Every structure is written in C-alpha cells, then in structure tokens.
Amino acid sequence: MSFTNLPAAAAFAEFAVGGRALRLEYVRINATLKDAPLLVFLHEGLGSLSMWKDFPQALCDAAGVRGLVFSREGYGRSTPRAASEKWTVEFMHRQAHDVLPRFFAALRYSDRPWIFGHSDGGSIALLHAAAYPDRVAGVIAAAPHIFVEDESIASIAAVRTSYLTTDLKARLARYHDDPDSAFFGWNDIWLDPDFRNWNIEDRLPLIQCPVLAVQGEDDEYGTMAQIDGIARGISHARLVKLSKCGHSPHRDQPALLTSAVVEFVREHLALAGYAIGSRSRSR
C-alpha cells in the first residue's frame, strides 16, 4: 500500500477543558455510512491528522466503518501549546479523561467508538477505555506505552538531537503549524526525570472492551514487554507481533496491520450482532 495525504478538508471543533479554549481540527471518513460503527484515530507523540496520510481511509474502507481523525491540542492545525506551557506527567491521562469526552460531546457523538491509537495515542486509548468502560466498543493499540523503558528514552533523546541539528523541524513543519509546540511538548516531558516512573499497568484490568495490541519486532521506542504487559493486565487482549516492523506498523506493515484489524473488528461486530454486509445491527 502507498499512502498519500488525506483528501478531505478538515473542519474544527471548539470546546473548553478546565477553562482552556481548544480548537481541534478533524476529518470524518465515510460519513454517509450512518449506521456503521465508528473508528477514532489517535496519533503518536509527533503525529497529526495529516501525518496519518490516507491510512485511516484505507482501513475504514476495508473494515466497512466510519472514521474520525483529528489532531490533539499542540499538533497539526489545532490549538498550539503556549511557549511557556509544560506538559505534566499526567498529560496522557488528561487527554483520555477530560479532552476526549468533551471532543466527542462537541461533535455530538453518542456512539461507542472503536479507538485506534498509535504510540502515545495507544496509551491514551487504553486510559480512556479504562476510565469509561461502558463508552468504548474496542481498542486497537499500535506500539503503545504502558511504562517507560530505557530504549524509549534513548530514542527520544536521539530525536531531540536530530530536531536541533538537522532538517527535522522543517520536515515536521509540513504537518504542524507550530512544530516547536508539537515537538517540545512531547519531547520535554518524556525526557523529564519525573516521567521515568510513569506507569499505567494498574489501569489495564479496568478495561472491559476487546483489545488488540500490536508491536513491531524492530520498534526503536519500545520492546515486546509493552504488549506482553497488556496481555498480563487484560486477560482477553489479543497480541500481534510483526516482523520487519519498527515503531509505526501502519507505515512499515500496512497490509498486515489492516488485515489483523479488519479481522479483529469484524469478529467482534459479528459477536455483537452486526450484519457486516449491511453495516447495521441485526434484529
């Protein structure tokens, strides 16, 4: 598969969290499939709506579902992070517990969505499913983090050097209005000594929905200990371990990832009584 930029123009959702006004860019996929399940995409620590390119469209088409892709605050064309604002150790908890529910409310979504999260987005998806077990239909976590590893810190430190000494900032500027907002918000907190003890393993047993956890064998930001830990914490979780794959399965192994996700989603939709062909719930 070869992915190009998302074709649809983004809209914006405006709402407030903790007194802070946010404006998040988003794109709906297959919106005409009104009765189809909804798959929400949560990007990585340096990602954005546009950095997914057309993987979300391809996956939604393959699964026969609707999609929602957006940029979190600080990313893409969404509300940037103030120069003086430092993310806290709980920044992913805030996204999962506070921002996502208000974002869904702003869009008037009442669905129990499936959530596809990559890297930090995968962690946020797991935290959201743990906090709101009755509001999530399922989670696909690709290269998620559930605790901090030395491998992660080493790679993130190396990326900081690249950002300061190469054209990485210019390349990220193609996807973010304020690349410094996106980069340093993520990089500063991950390299903060206080973040070394960040761990969400205690939240995993609270997750009731189906979970598919995916990791590349060559992931430079984490080891298989991440998804093996998910399996320990969530007895019903399913694992997929991909060879010849780094930190971004949707770029490194898109065909294998798409096949695994479609099979997983369709299996659980069928168990829930959905007729896949008609994209509606059977009576």
pLDDT digits (tens, 9 = 90+) for 224-246: 999 999 999 999 999 999 999 99
Tell whether 276 is covered by a domain. no
Q: How does residue 4 score in pLDDT terms, banded at 50, 70 and 90?
A: very low
Domain count across the chain: 1
Widest distance between CA atoms in the chain? 60
Average confidence score pLDDT of the chain: 93
Q: Residue 5: is its pLDDT beyond 70? A: no
For the entire predicted model, the pTM comes to: 0.93
Average pLDDT rounded to a whole number, residues 36-47: 97
What CATH number corresponds to the domain at position 61? 3.40.50.1820
pLDDT digits (tens, 9 = 90+) for 133-142: 999 999 999 9
Q: What is the pLDDT of residue 83?
A: 76
Q: What is the pLDDT of residue 116?
A: 98
Q: How does residue 82 score in pLDDT terms, banded at 50, 70 and 90?
A: confident
Domain hosting 68: range is 11-271
Tell whether 283 is covered by a domain. no
Tell whether 174 is covered by a domain. yes
Tell whether 282 is covered by a domain. no
CA 37 to CA 41: how far, in whole Å?
A: 13
**Distance linking the first and last C-alpha atoms of the chain:** 37
CA 66 to CA 157: how far, in whole Å?
A: 37
| Residues in contact with 220: Cβ distance below 8 Å, sequence separation at least 6, in sequence order | 151, 155, 246, 247
Tell whether 279 is covered by a domain. no
Q: What is the pLDDT of residue 62?
A: 97
Average pLDDT rounded to a whole number, residues 203-227: 98
Q: What is the pLDDT of residue 278?
A: 43
Tell whether 6 is covered by a domain. no
CA 29 to CA 8: how far, in whole Å?
A: 8
